[in-house]
Amino acid sequence: MNAKTIYLVASGDLRLSANQVCWPAQSAMEESIEKALAAEGYAVKRAHPYDARQKHGFIDSQRKGIEVFREIPADAPLIVAEAVWQYSHHVLAGLSTHRGPILTLANWSGQWPGLVGLLNLNASLTKQGVQYSSLWSKDFTDSFFKAGLHEWLTTGRVTHDTSHVRDLTRLKLPSADEKLGREFARDFRRKKAILGVFDEGCMGMFNAIIPDDLLHATGCFKERLSQSTLFAAMREVSDADAKAVYDWIVARGIRLKLGQDEATELTESQVLLQCKMYIAALRIADDFGCDSIGIQYQQGLKDLAPASDLVEGMLNNVDRPPVKSADGTRVLFDGEALPHFNEVDECAGIDGLVTYRLWRKLGFSPENTLHDLRWGQTYGDDYVWVLLISGAAPPAHFIDGWKGASSERQPPMYFRLGGGTLKGISKPGHIVWSRVFVAEGRLQADIGTAKVVSLPAEETDRRWKETTPAWPIMHAVFDGVSRDQMMARHQSNHIQVVYAPDETQAHRAARVKAAALAELGLEVHLCGDVKLG
């Protein structure tokens, strides 16, 4: 690049309260970026000013993003700097036609967090077919960052090590695993399945929407539902039915951290409304014959009802409060979870449903969930990731199950009407992780294995305080995938996880799942040290 001026934009939240609270972290990050660029002889030109009235400097809507990009030279080198969770559609329109080199850049912090926003934006750009490079750093002075920045400034791109990725087409699986996976997939496609989508497209996650034709080829079809229907159905649930669900989870041992202040604390009335949402979701799923559902919640429903997270975690658990049909004649989805894809992430939806049914066939506990690939640090000899999500994790994943679960109020800056999470510490064991994504116009999937480790209580608490203490946490060590390899490759802020009985079975299940997804037409990649037999 010849230009000595680098344009900078910052995509933010749609919610004013979040943008205002998170702005100091963004501002501090940008100061560090300016110093790093100055050391290379470059100046930063911020493409949109700080708004003194709004008290933040983020692009906070798609319209504002389009207007900002109109003033950026199309061939200019551009940094998208993220210290916060951001809505990718705010900048996707502008980035989709930008011809200059693009660098997405995040601070290595679990606080808001920018690296989660970065991963979502990267995956959205990948789906859109936009060329970009990506970097991350704790303080923007480390050698990894400085070398990557120099490379981008001089060549217009950053290269990363992705040698941990192996295309399934170049590998030979054990014949028994291949046969089992492909037979399962053929049966899955023949029977077909319905994903109930409660309002498509949450928080600008373009990457989380699967085009219908790609989805149909797998045997899955969308039932497009409305969150207004869900809210209306909640109003038809009796207080007695809601109280029965409430009493069930309390009897199972969940700790509800209740208070009296509706604005800042979790209250019994909020939890009872969540119980009504749980019942309503099951009844609507039954009415439409859905095999899995995803509730968007974040926009629209958040202004009408408490958060959906406790609901989602209950739905994802086999051992959950029983719910009868509205006429009282049938128990709905008796003895089964109703797999829920958090934030209506359709890529997680097909992954979660396939995983649930395949694990049933393998004879394993089928509960699975997505998490945010939130943040991580070295502990002892391992790099231990913090996997964290707002509450969709099932109690079957927690140490002591329901007795190890608690529910705390969602942060007021995101969730004005409150509502509880389903919080717990994931039990030690072996898991299969995965991500379905869209790239080059095709459905693709990455699959790997990992260990969930146990950390001392004080270290777990420290990590919670560095992130979001109300949310469930998983301490994960990925097999054969470094921190920077994971960041360079992973095509989502979300990662799907499911337990296997032991290490041997985790590797076998990963192979069987790879064969199944390949039979469904996905381009599959094994990541890290997945054993081939």
Residue ranges of E strands in 260-397: 292-295, 368-379, 382-388
| Distance separating alpha carbons of residues 350 and 337, to the nearest angstrom | 15
Instruction: Read off the pLDDT of residues 199-212 as tens digits, 9 standing for 90 and up.
Output: 999 999 999 999 99
Q: For position 257, what pLDDT does the model report?
A: 98
Beta strands in 257-302 (DSSP E): 292-295
Main-chain phi, psi angles of 44, to 5 degrees: -105, 135
Task: Give, rounded to a whole angstrom, the gap between the first and last alpha carbons of the chain.
Answer: 48
Average confidence (pLDDT) over 158-173: 98
**Residues 453, 477 contacting (CB under 8 angstroms):** yes
How many CA atoms lie within 13 Å of 299's alpha carbon, on the beta-carbon side? Answer: 13
Helices (H) and strands (E) in the chain, counts: 15, 18
pLDDT in tens, 298-321: 778 989 999 999 999 999 999 999
Burial tier of 319 (Cβ tally within 10 Å: 0-12, 13-18, 19+): middle
**How far is the C-alpha of 13 from the C-alpha of 462, rounded, in Å?**
26
Decide if 458 contacts 102 (C-beta within 8 A).
Answer: no
What average pLDDT is seen over the chain?
97
**Residue count (the chain):** 533
Residues 6 or more apart whose Cβ sits within 8 Å of residue 53: none
Q: What angle do CA 55, 140, 15 make, to 5 degrees?
A: 25
Joined together, the tokens standing for residue 526 give 């094994």
- Rounded-to-integer distance, Cα 157 and Cα 132, Å: 7
Confidence of residue 3 (pLDDT cuts 50, 70, 90): low
8 A C-beta contact, residue 456 and residue 425: no
Before 339, cis peptide (omega within 30)? no
pLDDT number for residue 322: 98
pLDDT digits (tens, 9 = 90+) for 264-291: 999 999 999 999 999 999 999 999 999 9
Query: What tokens does 412 get?
Result: 């007021």
Residues 6+ apart with CB under 8 A from 81: 8, 9, 10, 26, 29, 30, 33, 105, 106
| Phi and psi, residue 67, nearest 5° | -65, -40
Distance of CA 43 to the CA centre of its chain: 34
Model pTM above 0.75:
yes
pLDDT-above-90 percentage for the chain: 97
Q: Tokens at residue 90, please?
A: 């705010």
Would you call 476 helix, strand, or coil by DSSP?
strand
Q: Which two tokens stand for residue 419?
A: 């509502």
Q: Single out the residue of 155, 103, 153 nearest to residue 132, CA to CA.
A: 103
Per-residue pLDDT, 1? 44
- Give the pLDDT confidence score for residue 144 in this predicted structure: 97
DSSP secondary structure string for all residues of 32-50? HHHHHHHHTT-EEEESS--
Which of 323, 274, 322 shows the shortest CA–CA distance to 297? 274
pLDDT digits 0-9 by tens, 89-107: 999 999 999 999 999 999 9
* Residues 340-358 pLDDT 10s: 999 999 999 999 999 999 9
| DSSP string across 162-227 | -TTEEEGGGS---HHHHHHHHHHHHHHHHH-EEEEEESS--TT-GGG---HHHHHTTTEEEEEE-H
Q: Is 41 helix (H, G, I), strand (E, B) or coil?
A: coil
Beta bridge partners of 525: 167, 446
510's enclosing H/E stretch is helix 503-519
Q: Which helix (H) or strand (E) holds 429?
A: strand 429-439
